[in-house]
A and B are shown apart, each in its own frame.
Chain A
């Protein structure tokens, strides 16, 4: 299968200003085949959003390689990067702050075409109407302002804007986490339908395991800047191998009868440690219920335990 996106040993480090370094993303590698969806799950500070931003070239890349269909997007700049931009677009988490409140919806969706010089100007308005229809909004709504729409409709507008450049890859950063559950289902179904119809490739960031289960082919679990487990969606839920993945799945609230009134299902103590000046050894060792001495001194590398399932744990 041809890989549309290929990320190798990506690192994004930020100086803290006090001489420390935040290892936001610390050696992350993955591929996404054309037409498929990779989900990245993790908690705050895991580096999942920074990974997405680095792929979009919206966060400074410290080292590593990102290739999109043969274009070395981690190394190109200026005009060259601009020419590649239409190929990869993003949908943001917050449908309220990611749309300019002063612009009418038609202009918001048209703007990527204006900025990147796509289509002849007279054709752009027709394309805007086509895009609105594609995301399930009536074309005449283009003359309204963002505040006149509900959260779910606004996320549809964000999606239409991302589709405007006919991208190969769309990066979603928590696209439904600000939405109520009934509306969330509408938007998730739309995201899936667009992929079926157009063969789009997705990088999908979420903290919600139920959501990634529903939209992703493969799932990478991140913890403190590293991928700790990566497998097909079916496999990772059926037989998670990393203790963190197991804890995450156990803690996800569920309607299943065995979850009733169990008061949480907490397996982990404490919060994730700070990504500033990481401890030596496995980043998860301080919260891991099964950690041994080796875990605190040696960093586990991601290794394939079964076909299509890779885990970074000495004990897995």
Chain B
């Protein structure tokens, strides 16, 4: 077993709001190894993007604060680094791509200039060499006529091309870890397939570890080795992608998978629903946050946070009904 590139242990992030303290991340632990793709999946507000931001030291503070746990990246705890040290890592050893490539690229610089800037921030090279590197990166992500595109402004490119530029920029400094936050949500499905293929090819070629943040279980199936399912700031299930998709343990994971309209499903049957909505993080009780929506909930669910129960090797879910073996595995 190789040493993980990133190892997050018991991470806790609080936001202080007018309505009280929100535990935005609560006891989040996972690791990802070189060349591995971990998907973090969940609905809006579950904490998946916040997990990404905390790795990069980008949690807005105030109101946010890391109150516990550690983020070990290549053996160093990122929660203990100074901003100046983090800045060297961000965009260098850890890179990130965002959902909307239009708003995360600068409209007044050419694509080539923006990639070259990223290169020069982390490597001592001449402007000319940095620009050459930019063109090389644009070619590597499958952009036709990269010399020409390097001189183009973001608005002159399509959404799919812009996302390729973002990926080129992210990879220009050969990161050990790439965090992709909903990288294809704004793209059409045929273009999404191209971006997935590109990410997959790059990680195989470069051994970059990837964290894919997504709300789409289909994307998890297409891409992930491992998956962590989040709900209300906690990881409620984690394991190898096949195990979680084929044999989900947590009632929330089961509900989430069942509620996806599938091409191969019986179109006459109603979709199974998860009743209700995600609770506000400021008014969570002591117990399982999913209990109010859970068909299997018993009074004990509201008493304390459920621990993770092992279902098989590396596959676990945080549900006390599993513990009692009342949910068939």
- Asked if A266 and B194 sit within 8 Å, CB to CB, the answer is yes
From the candidates A181, A213, A272, name the one contacting B259 in the complex (CB within 8 A). A181
- Asked if A261 and B224 sit within 8 Å, CB to CB, the answer is yes
**Interface status of A197 (Cβ within 8 A of chain B):** no
- Asked if A182 and B245 sit within 8 Å, CB to CB, the answer is no
CB distance from B159 to the nearest CB of A (A): 8
Known: A185-B272, A213-B263, A271-B158. A180 touches B189 (CB 8 A): no
**Interface status of A194 (Cβ within 8 A of chain B):** no
Q: How far is the CA of A249 from the CA of B200 in the complex (A)?
A: 20
- Asked if A255 and B262 sit within 8 Å, CB to CB, the answer is yes
B-side contacts of A248, CB under 8 Å: 189-190
From the candidates A150, A233, A264, name the one contacting B267 in the complex (CB within 8 A). A233
- Asked if A185 and B257 sit within 8 Å, CB to CB, the answer is no
**Interface status of B283 (Cβ within 8 A of chain A):** no
A-binding segment of B15-23, B80-88, B212-220: B212-220
**Interface status of A306 (Cβ within 8 A of chain B):** no
- Asked if B218 and A182 sit within 8 Å, CB to CB, the answer is no
Known: A43-B190, A252-B189. A265 touches B222 (CB 8 A): yes
Q: How far is the CA of A70 from the CA of B272 in the complex (A)?
A: 39
Known: A185-B273, A210-B261. A260 touches B221 (CB 8 A): yes
Instruction: Mark interface residues in A237-264 (1 if CB within 8 Å of B CB, else 0).
Output: 1000000000111111111110111111
- Asked if B270 and A249 sit within 8 Å, CB to CB, the answer is no
- Asked if A247 and B43 sit within 8 Å, CB to CB, the answer is no
Give the contacts of B168-220 with A (CB-CB under 8 A).
188-197, 199-201, 215-219
- Asked if B218 and A249 sit within 8 Å, CB to CB, the answer is no
Instruction: Mark interface residues in B219-241 (1 if CB within 8 Å of A CB, else 0).
Output: 10111110000000000000001
- Asked if A185 and B193 sit within 8 Å, CB to CB, the answer is no
CB distance from B258 to the nearest CB of A (A): 8
CB distance from B19 to the nearest CB of A (A): 14
B-side contacts of A251, CB under 8 Å: 189-190, 192-193
Give the contacts of A177-203 with B (CB-CB under 8 A).
180-186, 188-189, 192-193
Q: How far is the CA of A233 from the CA of B262 in the complex (A)?
A: 13
- Asked if B263 and A264 sit within 8 Å, CB to CB, the answer is no
Among residues of B, the one whose C-beta sits closest to the C-beta of A152 is B277
Q: How far is the CA of A257 from the CA of B218 in the complex (A)?
A: 11
- Asked if B274 and A253 sit within 8 Å, CB to CB, the answer is no
From the candidates A181, A237, A261, name the one contacting B260 in the complex (CB within 8 A). A181
Among residues of B, the one whose C-beta sits closest to the C-beta of A237 is B263
A-side contacts of B278, CB under 8 Å: 180
**Interface status of B148 (Cβ within 8 A of chain A):** no
- Asked if A268 and B190 sit within 8 Å, CB to CB, the answer is yes
Q: How far is the CA of A272 from the CA of B159 in the complex (A)?
A: 11
Most B CB atoms within 10 A — which of A184, A233, A250, A266? A266
Known: A180-B44, A214-B265, A266-B190. A254 touches B255 (CB 8 A): no
Q: How far is the CA of A316 from the CA of B190 in the complex (A)?
A: 21
- Asked if A264 and B200 sit within 8 Å, CB to CB, the answer is yes
- Asked if A210 and B193 sit within 8 Å, CB to CB, the answer is no
**Interface status of B256 (Cβ within 8 A of chain A):** yes
Give the contacts of A286-316 with B (CB-CB under 8 A).
none
Q: How far is the CA of A44 from the CA of B187 in the complex (A)?
A: 9
**Interface status of B264 (Cβ within 8 A of chain A):** yes
Q: How far is the CA of A188 from the CA of B271 in the complex (A)?
A: 8
**Interface status of A97 (Cβ within 8 A of chain B):** no
- Asked if A185 and B277 sit within 8 Å, CB to CB, the answer is no
- Report 12 cross-chain contacts, Cβ distance below 8 Å, ordered by A residue: A186-B273, A189-B271, A193-B270, A214-B261, A249-B263, A251-B190, A255-B221, A263-B201, A263-B223, A264-B223, A265-B196, A266-B197
Interface of B toward A, CB cutoff 8 Å = 43-44, 158-161, 188-197, 199-201, 215-219, 221-225, 241-242, 245-246, 255-257, 259-265, 267, 270-275, 277-278
A-B pairs with lowest CB-CB distance, top 5:
A253-B218, A263-B200, A264-B196, A266-B193, A43-B188
Q: A186-B275, A209-B189, A266-B196 are in contact. List 14 more A-B contacts (CB 8 A).
A: A153-B277, A180-B44, A182-B255, A182-B273, A183-B43, A213-B261, A253-B189, A253-B218, A253-B219, A255-B260, A264-B192, A264-B197, A266-B197, A271-B160
